[in-house]
Amino acid sequence: MNQTATNTVSGNQVAQPSPDRPTAQPSRNLRLLESLLEHRAPAPVPAEQPGAPEITVAPKSEEPVKRGWLATLKTRHMAIVGGFLALVAVPSVVSTGYMAFIAADQYHSFSSFSVRSIEAAPSSDLLGMFSQSSAGSTLSDSYVLVDFILSERMVQMVDEAFGLDAVFARQGADFFYGITPDMPIEDRLAYWRDMVTVNFDQTSGIMDLQVKAFSPEMSQKVADFVIGRSEKLINELSLTARNEVLRTARDEVQTAEDRLTQTRASLRSYRDASQEADPIEGAKLAAQLIGSLEEQLVKLKTELSTALTQMSGDTPRVRVIRSQISSLEKQLAQERQRFGSGSSGKAGRSSGQATDVAGRIALYESIQTQNEFAERAYTASLASLEKARVEAGAKQRYLAVFIKPTLSQMAQYPHRLLNPILVTLAGLLLWGVAVMIFYNIRDRH
C-alpha cells in the first residue's frame, strides 16, 4: 500500500513506508505517532499570540471505571458458597464421620409366620359352603395381630420382660440410635416402631417380623418373645369366638329343654286326672261298645217283632224282650253322652270340664301338640348345638411359624454408606432450591 499520511504535528510531514521496501525497525517517534493516531485527534489549539503567557494544559488522566455489579457478584458468590458449605459439605462430612466412627452396629432377627384356621369338613348345602368360607377367613385376625405387635401394650410387655432401657440403651457416643432413659411412652412407642418391622402379605397371609437390637442374641430373644405373645393372643381370640358361638347354641338348647319339660308335666297331670293313658284309644273302645249295644238292640227289636206276630203283648216273653230293649236304649244313651253326643256333653265342654270323651280328646290333642312341638324344637336345638360345635372348631385359630427367629452373624444396620449419600442428596436438593429462590427474587427486582 503506497500511501502518504499527512498530519500536522509540530509542522513536520511524515511519510508511511511502502510495503515494497523492506520494513525497518520503527523508531521511538514513529511508535509514539502511531499511538496518537489511534486516539481521537485533539481539538485545534489557537496560535499563540505574542506576549501572551504560555498556558500548559495537563492531559486528563483516564481513571478506571468502577463497575457496581462486581461487588454484588462477589457477595452473591460468597453467599452461594457459604450455603453450599452449610447445607451440603458440613452435613455430609458430619454424617460420614458419624456413620464411620460413632454409630453402633445393629443386628436383626427375622421370622415368618401366619394365622391359620382348622378347616372343618365341607358342608353339603350351599348355605353351609358360604358360612364355611367366611368362617375360614383369617384376614381380620392377621390385621389384629399386626396392630398388636406395633401397639403400646407390646412395648409395655417387652419393658416388663427385658427392660426397654437395657435392650436399646445407648452404645458409647451413639446418641442417635439409642434410647434415652425416662422416655415418655409415646416416644418409646415411636422408637419401638423404628426397631420392629412387620410386613403382611394379603395374598398369602404371611407376616414377616424383623426385630433390630445392638446384639444378635438380644434381637433373637425379643423376636421370640413377640411371637410367643402373638400366639397367646390368637389362642385367646379363638377361644373367645368358640365360646361365643357355643354359648348362643347352649342357650337355645336350654330354652327348648325347659319348654319340653313343661309340656311333659302338663301331659302327666292330664293322665293323672283322667285315669287313662290315651283318650283316643278310650274313644275307640267307647265306639266299639256303642256299636255292640246298637247291634244287640237291633236283634232284640227283631225278636220282639217276631214274638208279637206269634203271641200277644202281655205274654211274659214279650215283656222280657221289651224290658231288655229299654235297658239297652238307656245304656246306649249313656254311652253316647259319655262320647259327647248328648246335651250333657255339650254342657260339660262349654263349662270347660272335660267329662266326655270328645272334650278329653280335644284337651289331650292340645297338650300332645305342644309336647310334640317342644320335642321337635329340642331336637333342632341339639342339632344346632352340634353344628355350632363344628363351626367353633372351624373358628379355631393358631399361629403357624414357618421361619423361627434367626441369629445374625454380622451387623446389617445402620447403612454406613447409604445414609451419608442420602444426607448429601438432601443437602444438594435444599441448596439447589435455595439458590433458585434467590435468583428468582433477584430477577424480579
Mean pLDDT of the chain: 74
In DSSP notation, 343-389 reads: HHHHHHHHTT---SHHHHHHHHHHHHHHHHHHHHHHHHHHHHHHHHH
Return the C-alpha cell found at 241. Answer: 369366638
With H, G, I as helix, E, B as strand and everything else as coil, classify residue 58: coil
Tell me, yes or no, if the pTM score tops 0.85: no
pLDDT, greater one: 30 or 267: 267
Residue 112 is predicted with a pLDDT of 93
pLDDT tens, residue by residue, 375-398: 888 888 888 888 878 777 766 788
Q: Counting Cβ atoms within 10 Å, is residue 360 exposed (0-12), middle (13-18) or buried (19+)?
A: buried
% of the chain at pLDDT higher than 70: 70
Q: What is the mean pLDDT of residues 21-44?
A: 58
Amino acid present at 180: T
Yes or no: say if 359 and 345 are a contact pair by the CB < 8 Å rule.
yes
**Residue 19, pLDDT above cutoff 70:** no
- DSSP element (H, E) containing 114: strand 107-117
Look at residue 149 in the predicted model and tell me its pLDDT: 93
Query: Is the pLDDT at 297 greater than 60, yes or no?
Result: yes
Q: Name 242's Cβ contacts closer than 8 Å, sequence gap at least 6.
A: 392, 393, 395, 396
Q: What's at 218, amino acid-wise?
A: M
Report the pLDDT averaged over residues 80-86.
Answer: 85
Class of CATH domain 105-253+395-416: alpha beta
pLDDT of residue 94: 86
What does the domain layout of the chain look like in residue ranges?
A: 70-103+417-433, 105-253+395-416, 275-389
Q: So what's the pLDDT on residue 282?
A: 65
Residue burial 118-151, b: 16+ Cβ < 10 Å; e: rest: eebeebeeeebeeebeebeebeebbebbbebbee
Task: Pick the more confident residue, 96 or 227.
Answer: 227
Q: Are 95 and 399 in contact (CB under 8 A)?
A: no
Cα distance between residue 185 and residue 241, in whole Å: 32
Mean pLDDT of 360-370: 80
Question: Whole-angstrom distance between the N-terminal and C-terminal Cα of the chain?
Answer: 55
Grade residue 148 by pLDDT with cuts at 50, 70 and 90: very high
Please give the Cα distance from 15 to 6 (Å, whole number): 7
For 66-76, letters b (16+ CB in 10 Å) and e give eeeeeeeeeee
Reported as a single tens digit per residue, the pLDDT across 303-318 is 778 777 777 777 887 7
pLDDT at position 366 is 82
Those residues whose C-beta lies under 8 Å from the C-beta of residue 7, and which sit 6 or more positions away, are: 13, 14, 33, 37
Instruction: Using pLDDT thresholds of 50, 70 and 90, give the confidence band for residue 25.
Output: low
Strands 107-117 and 206-213: antiparallel
Query: In 172-320, at which residue ranges do the beta strands (DSSP E only) sit?
Result: 196-200, 206-213
Best mean pLDDT range from 5-14, 54-63, 166-175, 382-391: 382-391
Distance CA 351, CA 430 (A): 103
Radius of gyration (C-alpha) of the chain in whole angstroms: 61
pLDDT for res 319:
80
pLDDT greater at residue 392 or residue 403: 403
Question: Looking at residue 416, what DSSP letter applies?
Answer: T
Q: Which of 71-75, 134-138, 280-284 has the lowest mean pLDDT?
A: 134-138
Mean pLDDT (whole number) for 265-271: 80
Alpha-carbon torsion, ordered 262, 264, 268, 270, to 10 deg: 70
- Looking at per-residue pLDDT, the higher value among 283 and 7 belongs to 283
